[in-house]
Amino acid sequence: MTSFMRSGPLEPGEWVRLTDPKGRKHNVQLEAGTAFSTKKGQISHDDMIGHPEGIVIESSMGAPYQVFRPLLFEYVVSMPRGVAIIYPKDAAQIVTQADIYPGARVVEAGAGSGSLTSYLLRAIGPQGTLGSYEIREDFAENVVRNVHQVAGPNPPGWTLTVGDVREVITETEIDRLILDMVDPWTCIPLAADRLVPGGILCAYVATTTQLSRFVETVREQGGFTEPRAWETLERDWHLEGLAVRPDHKMNGHTAFLVTARRMAPGQTSLEKSRRPAPGAYGPDYHGPRPAGFVAE
């Protein structure tokens, strides 16, 4: 059992999160007989092993640190990465808006560094299945290391395949398909073929050009509901006495999320009833156009 799924006394091999009075944080993996070095002196691992989380210990120079097991969202932002991670604010949106539920059959294309994989495994539970596909072997090796830290050495229901999901996918009936790749629109035929009726397609894209091309390709395919696109912005608040105000910093744009649901076989989605905005499909637009569109 890993440090992200247990309680009780701290044990060797577990990760802990040390926080000083200024809010500076360090993730440390416990090992008997060793110490973690800071600018405020060394912190003995033996002072933490065998104790419950939530204690306050002192470094060799008398600096206090509080000790907790890291929460999953705290760990993933500092996990070793070969590529940018999907941040907690976006992972939370994917789990909720794509309705990842216990027992779901999920496929993710582009495992990245394993952050979203960790959230998906928690959400589907031991009865669900998650097929992760990563095109780069070096990234896949990092995914394995990170996921094993979170979910243990053999997470039930999880498979990781190195290869192009469009060429090597083995799943035939999918409840949820998550796309974290440069060209997710190329997976629309796969989604149409493998997603069950009512299943959800979800794409994570960084730029407006990717967003536009993906949405228009989904519309052109016709077998999905009208796509919904959004982004999530996160901002902390400063809280001190009567000085309660928004923080000056925030977690702004990281990516856009897009979801659409699979229609039943032979059914096409309802076309948008409103007229496109002037210039929406002007001469600079090179993607698919709505059925019946006539340029003015």
Any idea where the domains of the chain sit in the sequence?
15-70, 74-261
Give yes or no on whether 15-70 and 74-261 have one common fold. no
Q: Is the pLDDT of residue 284 over 90?
A: no
Average pLDDT value for residue range 33-53? 95
pLDDT value of position 296? 53
Backbone phi, psi, residue 218, to 5°: -60, -45
Statement: 74-261 belongs to CATH 3.40.50.150:
yes
Check residue 1 and give its pLDDT: 44
pLDDT of residue 295: 57
Given this structure, which CATH class describes domain 15-70?
alpha beta
Instruction: Give residue 76's pLDDT.
Output: 87
Amino acid in the structure at residue 37: S
Secondary structure of residue 224 in the 3-state scheme: strand
Query: What pLDDT does residue 152 have?
Result: 84
pLDDT tier for residue 83 given thresholds of 50, 70 and 90: confident
Question: What is the β-pairing status of strands 15-19 and 25-29?
Answer: antiparallel
> What residues are designated binding site?
113-116, 134, 164, 180
d(CA 53, CA 14) in angstroms, rounded, equals: 11
pLDDT digits (tens, 9 = 90+) for 148-170: 988 888 899 999 999 999 999 99
77 pLDDT band, cuts 50/70/90, is confident
Q: How far apart are CA 236 and CA 253, in angstroms?
A: 15
**What does the pLDDT average to over 84-100?**
94
Task: State how far the alpha carbon of 44 is from the alpha carbons of 49, 59, 63, 101, in Å.
Answer: 9, 7, 12, 41
Q: Give, as one character, the DSSP assignment of residue 94.
A: H
Q: How confident is the model over 269-275, as a mean pLDDT?
A: 72
**Lowest mean pLDDT, pick from 46-50, 76-80, 194-198:** 76-80
- How far CA 123 is from CA of 114, 118, 129, 249, in Å, comes to 14, 9, 10, 30
d(CA 186, CA 175): 19
| pLDDT for 206 beyond 80 | yes
pLDDT band at 188 (very low <50, low <70, confident <90, very high): very high
Binding residues for S-adenosyl-L-methionine: 113-116, 134, 164, 180
Q: What is the mean pLDDT of residues 86-101?
A: 96
Alpha carbons within 13 A on the beta-carbon side of 29: 7
End-to-end CA separation in angstroms for the chain: 64
158-162, strands of its sheet edge to edge: 158-162, 129-134, 105-109, 174-179, 195-205, 256-261, 228-230
Eight-class DSSP state of 146: H
SS3 159: strand
Would you say residue 294 has pLDDT above 90? Answer: no
